[in-house]
């Protein structure tokens, strides 16, 4: 029974913490919007109202709803951004050695051997991560990538997001973001 009481306290404290964070964000947005010169200020709430982040009666839920209403209500001022991606002949590779591994406390000493072999001029070999992949994800669709660790799921997602630091996309690969080629 005492455990339920403790869980209730933790739950209510996390709700209070979230409300305080939203309250702080509302204050920041309101302060920033006061500097806006473009048309009517959407954050101009009456003093003391539920939407006034500086007032006693501020309601984080009501403020979030009003913010969402403002965002979805004026499509010209706040256009939704969607984009699809098509890819073909997607080949991605990296460079490493036969003994690449995730470092831990138990195997960190192996790094000394790797550094010694690198100093002696041993070349790293090309490791193919993604090979001849093709697909299409249309705007508004969700992409789920499943695979065991080391199968290239993260590399694939990073590649179609354009974050290719640490690996190389082959020149023959085609990635098209609804008319804009990579």
Q: Are 67 and 28 in contact (CB under 8 A)?
A: no
pTM: 0.50
* Per-residue pLDDT at 109: 74
CA distances from 71 to 31, 40, 68 (A): 18, 14, 5
pLDDT above 70 covers a percentage of the chain that reads: 75
pLDDT in tens, 91-121: 999 887 655 556 677 777 777 777 777 777 7
Computed over every residue of the chain, the mean pLDDT equals 77
The answer to whether 85 and 166 have CB atoms below 8 angstroms apart is no
- Distance from C-alpha of 91 to C-alpha of 132, rounded to nearest angstrom: 5
- Tokens describing residue 92: 């991605």
Mind listing the pLDDT tens digit for each residue in 13-57?
Answer: 888 888 888 878 777 766 555 433 333 334 667 777 777 777 788
Q: Average the pLDDT over 132-140 and give the result.
A: 92
Are 168 and 93 in contact, with CB atoms under 8 Å apart?
Answer: yes
DSSP 3-state of 46: coil
């Amino acid at each position: 029974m005492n455990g339920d009481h403790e869980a209730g306290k933790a739950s209510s404290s996390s709700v209070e913490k979230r409300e305080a964070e939203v309250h702080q964000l509302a204050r920041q947005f309101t302060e920033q919007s006061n500097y806006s010169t473009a048309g009517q200020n959407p954050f101009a709430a009456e003093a003391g109202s539920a939407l006034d982040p500086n007032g006693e009666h501020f309601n984080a839920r009501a403020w979030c709803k009003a913010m969402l209403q403002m965002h979805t209500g004026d499509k010209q001022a706040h256009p939704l951004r969607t984009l699809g991606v098509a890819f073909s002949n997607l080949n991605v590779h990296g460079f490493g050695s036969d003994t690449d591994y995730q470092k831990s406390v138990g195997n960190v000493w192996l790094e000394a051997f790797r550094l010694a072999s690198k100093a002696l001029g041993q070349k790293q070999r090309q490791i193919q991560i993604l090979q001849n992949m093709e697909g299409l994800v249309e705007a508004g669709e969700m992409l789920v990538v499943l695979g065991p660790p080391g199968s290239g799921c993260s590399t694939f997602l990073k590649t179609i997001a354009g974050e290719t630091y640490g690996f190389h996309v082959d020149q023959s690969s085609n990635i098209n973001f609804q008319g804009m080629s990579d």
